[in-house]
Amino acid sequence: MTQICLVRHGQTEWNLLGKLQGQTDIPLNETGKLQAEECREFLKKSQWDVLITTSLMRARKTADIINESLELPLVEMDHFKERHFGEGEGLSREEREARYPDFIFPNMESYEKLVERVQEGLDDIHAQFPGKRVLLVAHGAVISAVLREFHAEDAILGQVKLFNGCLTNLHMKNKRWAVHSYNEVGHLSEHS
C-alpha cells in the first residue's frame, strides 16, 4: 500500500503577516526553520523511502532540513506547488477581503486545475513508488484540496486552517487515495 505523509512547509514572513503567498517564492523565517527541524526529529522515528518537494524555496528548504538526518532520495515535483493566486498574491487578509470579498482573484488558477495537477502528481507517485512510504513537502492549498477531495467523512475539511509544519497522512485504499489523519501538530513546539 502506497502511503504519503504530506508535510506543510515551515512558516515564512508572509505566513506570519497573513499575506497570500501562492507561487511567490518566499523563504522560511527562523520559526519556519525550527518547525522543519521539529518535523525532522519526529519523522526520523519512522522508515521512509523517498522525500518529494516542490521547487518553491520554502518547501525545498523544509525538505532539505528534514533530509539532514533521513538522507532519503530527494525528488522535485511541481504538481504539488502552491496554487497560483494571481493578483491576490502579496495581499494581506484585510486587503483581500476589501478588494476581492469572494476570494476570486484576476489571473488565479482555478480550483479544478489545482485538483487536476495534484491528482496527476499523486498518480505519478503511486506509479513511481508503489507500496512505498513517501514524505511530500507541499503547500496549504494543495493539502486543503487533498482533504476536500479524499476525506470521505467530511467535505468541510477543505476549510480547515492548516498549520505550518503540520502532517497529513493518506494512503491508497481500494484504488483510491484516502486521508488517514490530518493537520497533526503534536511534534511542534509552536504552530501557526
| Among 82, 89, 109, 191, the one annotated catalytic | 82
Q: Which residue in the list 9, 79, 84, 139 is annotated as catalytic?
A: 9
d(CA 148, CA 33): 28
| Residue among 98, 123, 9 nearest 56 (CA) | 9
CA distance 35 to 74: 19
Does the annotation mark 9 as catalytic?
A: yes
Provide the annotated binding site for substrate: 8-15, 58
- Work out the widest C-alpha separation in the chain, in whole angstroms: 47
**Of 66, 91, 80, whose CA–CA distance to 139 is shortest?**
80
Count of alpha carbons within 13 angstroms of residue 170, beta-carbon side: 26
- Sign for the CA dihedral angle at 68, 70, 73, 74 comes to negative
Active site includes 82?
A: yes
The CA distance from 138 to 75, in Å, is: 12
The 8-class DSSP code of residue 89 comes to T
**How far apart (Å, rounded) are the C-alpha atoms in residues 141 and 52?**
17
SS3 call for 142: helix
Catalytic residue numbers, as ranges: 9, 82
